[in-house]
Amino acid sequence: MILSYLSQHPQFEAPAGSVLLSQGQACNDALILASGRLKVIARSPEGRELLLYRIEPEQFCVLSTACLLGHDPFPAEVICETDISATVIPKAEFHRLIASQQSFQEAVFRGFSERLYQLMAQIESVTLTALKPRLWKYLQNRIGEQQSSQLTLTHQEIAVDIGSSREVISRQLKTLELEGLIELSRGKITLL
C-alpha cells in the first residue's frame, strides 16, 4: 500500500539542511519519505538538542502521525540530513486512508510500534548507560551504516545524536584516541 501510494502521487523535494517542521508548528500533512534521510530532534529552551530518531525511505514520522491524530502542535524539529524526495499526504486524505484502508492503517501503526520501541531504548540508553560505551557503540553503528572505517562527523553532530554536549564528546573522543581505538583529524574520525 505504501509503495503504491508513493507511485501514484507527486513527490515533494527538499535539499539537505532544510527544516521541514519546527517545534510548535501545526502539523497539516503526513510525509512518506521516498528517498534520502530525515532526522527528528528535540531542542530545549537553552538550545540543547537530542536526536529522537531518523526517518528512512518508506517510513512515517511517528510524531507527525501523533500530531495528525491528536490535533497537537509538532513537539520537535524535522531536518533533511540529505536531499530528500517524499510524498505529502494532506491531513484529510491521511484520516480517510486510516479509516478506509486496513493495509495503510497497519503500516502506520506498525511504524508507530517500532518507533516507540526505539525511543524507549534511546531513553534507556541516555539515562542508564555511561557515555563512553554509548559513544563507542554509536561510532561502531555509524561505521557499519557507511561500510567504511572513517566517519565525517562533527563533535556537535555526535553530541546531538547521543544526547550530550559537544565539550563532553570532545573529551571522550580524545580518551578513545589515547586508548588507541580511534584516530581524530579535522572533521574525521577513523576507527582503528
Q: Say which CATH number the domain at 6 has.
A: 2.60.120.10
Looking at the fold, whether 83 and 6 belong to one and the same domain comes out as yes
Q: Which of 128, 156, 172 is the last residue of a domain?
A: 128
- Residues 93 and 74: their CA atoms lie apart, in Å, by 19
Q: Are residues 122 and 135 in the same domain?
A: no
**166: containing domain:** 131-191
In sequence order, what are the residues at sequence separation of 6 or more whose Cβ sits closer than 8 angstroms to the Cβ of residue 137? none
Domain boundary among 128, 154, 173: 128
Residue for grid cell 554509536: 138
Please tell me whether residues 21 and 66 are part of one structural domain: yes
* Residue with grid cell 497539516, as numbered in its chain: 28
Q: By the 8 A CB rule, do 42 and 50 touch?
A: yes
Put the strands of the sheet holding 150-151 in their side by side order.
150-151, 188-191, 182-185
State how far the Cα of 166 lies from the Cα of 141, in Å rounded to an integer: 19
123 and 137 belong to one structural domain: no
**Cα–Cα nearest to 2, from 65, 87, 69:** 87
Domain boundary among 108, 128, 148: 128
Q: Which residue has the cell 581505538?
A: 181
For 138-150, give one letter per residue: b (16+ CB within 10 A) or e.
bbeebbeeeeeee
- Rounded Cα distance between 90 and 64, Å, is 12
pLDDT tens-digit profile, the chain (192 residues): 555 655 666 688 999 999 999 999 998 888 888 899 999 998 888 777 888 889 999 888 888 888 998 888 999 999 999 999 998 888 898 899 889 988 888 888 888 888 888 888 777 777 777 888 888 988 998 888 877 788 888 898 888 888 788 888 999 999 999 899 888 988 889 888
Q: How many domains does the chain divide into? A: 2
Q: Which three cell numbers stand for residue 167?
A: 565539550
Q: Report the 3 state secondary structure along 103-129.
A: HHHHHHHHHHHHHHHHHHHHHHHHHHC
Model pTM? Answer: 0.73
